[in-house]
Amino acid sequence: EMKAQGVVEDRLELLKGVSGSFRPGVLTALMGVSGAGKTTLMDVLAGRKTGGYIQGNISISGYPKKQETFARVSGYCEQNDIHSPQVTVYESLLFSAWLRLPEDVDSNKRRMFIEEVMELVELKPLKDALVGLPGVNGLSTEQRKRLTIAVELVANPSIIFMDEPTSGLDARAAAIVMRTVRNTVDTGRTVVCTIHQPSIDIFEAFDELFLMKRGGEEIYAGPLGHHSADLINYYEGIHGVSKIKDGYNPATWMLEVTTIGQEQMLGIDFSDIYKKSELYQRNKALIKEQSQPAPGSTDLYFPTQYSQSSITQCMACLWKQNLSYWRNPPYNAVRFLFTTVIALLFGTIFWDLGGKMYVMTHTSYIASKQPTFETLFISCFLFQEPVTRLVQRHGVNVCCSAVHWYYELYFGSTSGGCGEDSLLP
Ligand SMILES: Nc1ncnc2c1ncn2[C@@H]1O[C@H](COP(=O)(O)OP(=O)(O)O)[C@@H](O)[C@H]1O
Ligand SMILES: [Mg+2]
């Protein structure tokens, strides 16, 4: 795809010499046009990029990052939330906390902690609401986002990555989510948050900005200042950049004046300018300072890779899966139906044949039955899922016709091959 756009190398450089620091209690916005590499940068930092080549240093509290321990103290809210539709908000949180909090946190403390997190993200009134399917029933998009954040928060991470938590939300919903994010930062956690087309209010809720341009280069990293004054001063200070109009959204303005087109028009390179700026020197000094471990501190250490034993993990998964199935009547109904039908089928095939050994040992009989069994088995497993889904979407009527169709298809065509006449030679 990239080759069609004129890229010749086999290795693409998605991030170019990006460096910066994220500090606790400081809300940093990671911004840039679509395709600038925001998600890539976050994935690299969070250790979620499995392919490709990654070079550079990442240090946590001055110690080199180790993925096993880092995974235990970090959380990642993806752009597209994945939640189990059949469990409630509280159960989703309980599941996450159960698996991710350390073993020495007993269930009472865990419950208290979940209550606290629900308070923080304002999900208390929705405690017993079913999550539901996106766009069909259950929680709204904005409530889902807050649930995503809560699911990460109950693991008590020190560092949280959020990929576009306000995308696809209207202004009011985005403001609620941002309030949640702000509350999270104010608990002293480090939050890195990519954001897309923020309103002025949302943009100014951030303390610092990490701006990237297309091609994965950083062009601004530093404080926003009161009413984004620092940012505006920085860009207005660059020769040729047009001034911001009164009341114009600084987030929009900054993206508009830093496009590739503007760069070509003015004949400048914003990443070069950034590298020469005083801001860059300040950031370098800050990174150097932060790369030294605090005196008297020790590196993170966990005796086990996961916070819970395999048995507990298995129990937690069983618990949730059990709830999910139990609250899905169409699924269970279809399963019961299929089981009954299959039982009857096998019953009729073997009816009155149990004691007749000569029949069972007759090879041609077995051979004639084998395709039937295979068809039955395979179709039984293959069709259970889609039929269940059909029923969920269109109700029982479709189920009846689907079962009818299934019968026609499989017994209409195969009964000729294994009828009574071919039973015995
Ligand atoms: N695994 C990959 N292989 C090749 N190119 C990728 C890969 N992941 C992302 N890219 C490219 O990197 C660029 C940045 O992507 P991304 O980080 O998703 O941008 P965004 O800032 O919109 O989150 C895009 O041009 C994308 O096509
Ligand atoms: Mg992205």
pLDDT at 371: 66
Q: Is 164 inside a domain boundary? A: yes
Q: 256 and 336: one domain?
A: no
CATH of the domain at 77: 3.40.50.300
Ligand 1 atom with the shortest distance to the CA of 212: 21
pTM: 0.78
Q: Of 281, 217, 276, 211, which Cα lies nearest the Cα of 250?
A: 211
Task: Report d(CA 194, CA 229) in Å as an integer.
Answer: 21
Ligand 1 pocket test target in 10, 30, 38, 40 with most atoms within 8 Å of CB: 40
Could you tell me if 245 and 350 lie in one domain? no
**Would the CB of 32 count as within 6 Å of ligand 1?**
yes
Contact 280, 20 (CB under 8 A): no
Among the candidates 272, 287, 312, a domain finishes at 312
The amino acid present at 173, given as its one-letter code, is A
- Asked if 295 and 230 sit in the same domain, the reply is yes
Pick from 299, 288, 281, 283: nearest CA to 60: 299
Last residue of a domain, one of 312, 347, 376: 312
Q: Kindly state whether residues 85 and 144 are assigned to the same domain.
A: yes
More confident of the two residues 51 and 95 = 95
Name, in order, each residue with C-beta under 8 angstroms of 323's C-beta and a sequence gap of 6 or more. Answer: 86, 87, 91
Position 317 in a domain: no
Which pLDDT score is estimated for 415?
38
What pLDDT does 364 receive? Answer: 59
Residue 405 pLDDT exceeds 70: no
CA distance 425 to 66: 71
> Does 336 lie in the same domain as 305?
no
> Phi/psi at 255 (nearest 5 deg)?
-70, -35
Instruction: Indicate if 191 and 252 belong to the same structural domain.
Output: yes
DSSP states along 290-320: HTSPPTT------SSSSSS-HHHHHHHHHHH
Clarify whether residues 113 and 163 are in a common domain: yes
Rounded distance from Cα 35 to ligand 1 centre (Å): 6
Q: Is residue 6 part of a domain?
A: no
Over residues 273-301, the pLDDT tens digits come to: 999 889 899 999 988 888 888 888 888 88
Asked if residue 2 is part of any domain, the answer here is no
- Section 103-132 average pLDDT: 91
Whose tokens are 């029949």? That residue is 359
Write out the residues surrounding ion ligand 2, Cβ under 5 A: 39
Which pairs from 268-276 meet CB under 8 Å and 24+ separation?
268/238, 268/239, 268/240, 270/213, 270/219, 270/238, 271/16, 271/213, 271/217, 271/218, 271/219, 273/219, 273/238, 274/218, 274/219, 274/220, 274/221
Question: Do 305 and 397 have their domain in common?
Answer: no
Ligand in nearest proximity to the CA of 36: 1
Report angle CA 97, 99, 102 to the nearest 5 degrees.
Answer: 80
Q: For the beta carbon of residue 346, count every other beta carbon within 10 angstroms.
A: 12
Give one DSSP letter per residue of 21-33, joined into a string: ---TT-EEEEEES
Closest ligand relative to 78 C-alpha = 2
**How far is ligand 2, taken at its centre, from the CA of residue 163, in Å?**
7
For ligand 1, is residue 40 a contact (CB within 6 Å)? yes
Distance 216 CA to ligand 1 centre (A): 9
Indicate the residue among 281, 312, 343 that finishes a domain.
312
Tokens of 180: 């949640």
Q: Is the CB of 7 under 6 A from ligand 1?
A: no
Please tell me the distance from the alpha carbon of residue 170 to that of residue 148, in angstroms, as a whole number.
Answer: 18
Query: Which stretch of 90-94, 276-280, 320-324, 400-404 has the lowest confidence by average pLDDT?
Result: 400-404
The reply to whether ligand 1 has any atom less than 6 angstroms from the CB of 37 is yes
What is the atom index within ligand 1 of the atom nearest the CA of 42? 17
Please determine, for residue 414, whether its predicted confidence score (pLDDT) is greater than 50: no
Strand partners, 223: 208
Could you tell me the CA-to-CA distances from 141 to 78, 130, 134, 161 in Å, in that order? Answer: 13, 14, 7, 19
| Residue 422: predicted pLDDT | 33
Mutational pocket test of ligand 1: of 3, 7, 14, the residue with most ligand atoms within 8 Å of the beta carbon: 14
Whether ligand 1 lies within 6 angstroms of the CB of 35 is answered as: yes
What confidence tens digit (pLDDT) does each residue in 333-345 have? 988 998 999 889 8
Say what the pLDDT of residue 252 is.
92
Indicate if ligand 1 lies below 6 Å from the C-beta of 54: no
- Reported residue count of the chain is 425
- Is 284 inside a domain boundary? yes
398 has a pLDDT exceeding 60: no
**Inside any domain, residue 321:** no
Has residue 3 been placed in a domain?
A: no
- Give the span between the Cα atoms of 65 and 214, in whole angstroms: 27
Same-domain status, 151 and 269: yes
CB 183 within 8 A of CB 120: yes
* pLDDT tens, position by position, 72-116: 899 999 888 889 999 999 999 999 999 999 888 888 999 999 999
Ligand 1: centre distance to CA 229 (Å): 31
Residue 239 backbone dihedrals phi, psi, to 5 degrees: -60, 130
Our answer on whether the CB atom of 50 is closer than 6 Å to any ligand 1 atom is no
- Over residues 113-128, mean pLDDT: 91
**How far away, in angstroms, is 373 Cα from ligand 2 center?**
49
- Distances from the Cα of 240 to the Cαs of 94, 231, 243, 264, 268, in angstroms? 55, 16, 9, 12, 9
Is the same domain home to 360 and 286? Answer: no
Per-chain mean pLDDT for the chain = 83
Cα(55) to ligand 1 centroid in Å equals 17
- The β-bridge partners of 218 are 212
| Beta strands 63-64; 74-77: pairing state | unpaired
Per DSSP, the chain holds a count of helices (H) and strands (E) of 18, 8
The ligand with the least distance to the CA atom of 167 is: 2
> Atom 10 of ligand 1 has which residue's CA nearest to it?
14
Amino acid at 3: K
Task: Choose among 196, 209, 213, 163: nearest CA to 36.
Answer: 213
| Number of domains the chain is built from | 2
306 and 349 inside one domain: no
Within-domain flag for 11: no
Q: Residues 186, 276: one domain? A: yes
- Report how far ligand 1's centroid is from the alpha carbon of 163 (Å): 13
Could you tell me the residue range of the domain that residue 385 belongs to? Answer: 328-422
